[in-house]
Amino acid sequence: MLSRAGLASRRHAEEMIVAGRVEVNGQVVQTLGVRVDPQRDDVRVDGRPVSLHEDHAYLALNKPSGFVTTAHDPQGRPTVMQLVPAVAGLFTVGRLDCESEGLLLFTTDGDWAQRIAHPRYGSAKEYLVEVAGRPKPSTVTRLRQPLELGDGEWSSGADVGVDSSAPDRTLLRVVLYEGRNRQIRRMTEAVGHPVLRLVRVRVGAIHLGALRPGQWRALMHAEIAATAGASVPQSELPAPRGVRRRRSA
């Protein structure tokens, strides 16, 4: 039922059950294959009710800094679920760090979430990243190539360009084709230019656009259907003070 409701893939749903996150009629269920009646049984995940949907929900949020990408936070911090409608079965597609900003997708469609999040389908993720200092051209080249992130973990490389720069900071445009934990922050720290601000502006063909921080919108059909081939959006992140943004050719 969890996968049919769009809450997660079948494999992820099984992991949630084993982890004790699923309740049926008030009782935690950790046995796989338990049958439920969607019309009669009260099924909940992390305390949130689950129901089957004939029509799935697809939302985009401009996540502000300071919100965690989770349904419940043990530390009591505000969560992204407080910024979107209370739709049964709604979950995030991927994550953004608490201090990161920008485009965060939500859906009730588990299959779509898998497609949009998997690099196999071309859903590149684009970020505007303000870093400390002025990286040398050779440093930018290092960011484009496979880079050791620590503990034997390597990135596979990224598309990296310089949008603008000032004496003490630089605005980079970074496109990732993989989703390692805190990848961009670890990449820039590895080359000596830690992140000052990070905003995601695109996922596949879905753009942040004019959404203000904390605002959400429903996705259009064309955005839902597309997973690749999107054009590069205009930045939602201002250039460092006193610097003119380079115009696209």
- State the first-to-last Cα distance of the chain, in angstroms, to the nearest integer: 50
Residue 158: which of 126, 133, 194 has the closest Cα? 126
Both structure tokens of 219 = 């996705």
Q: How far is CA 65 from CA 46, 71, 79, 116, 202, in A?
A: 24, 16, 11, 23, 17
**Residues 9, 54, 92, CA angle at the centre, nearest 5°?**
40
Both structure tokens of 138 = 């050779």
Whether 73 is catalytic is no
Extended beta strands in the chain, E state:
22-24, 27-28, 43-45, 48-49, 58-63, 91-93, 101-107, 125-132, 148-150, 153-154, 159-166, 169-176, 195-203, 206-207, 216-218
d(CA 122, CA 24): 37
Check 97, 109, 111, 163 and give the catalytic one.
97
d(CA 167, CA 243): 10
User: Which residues lie across from 159 on neighbouring strands?
Assistant: 175
Residues catalogued as catalytic: 97
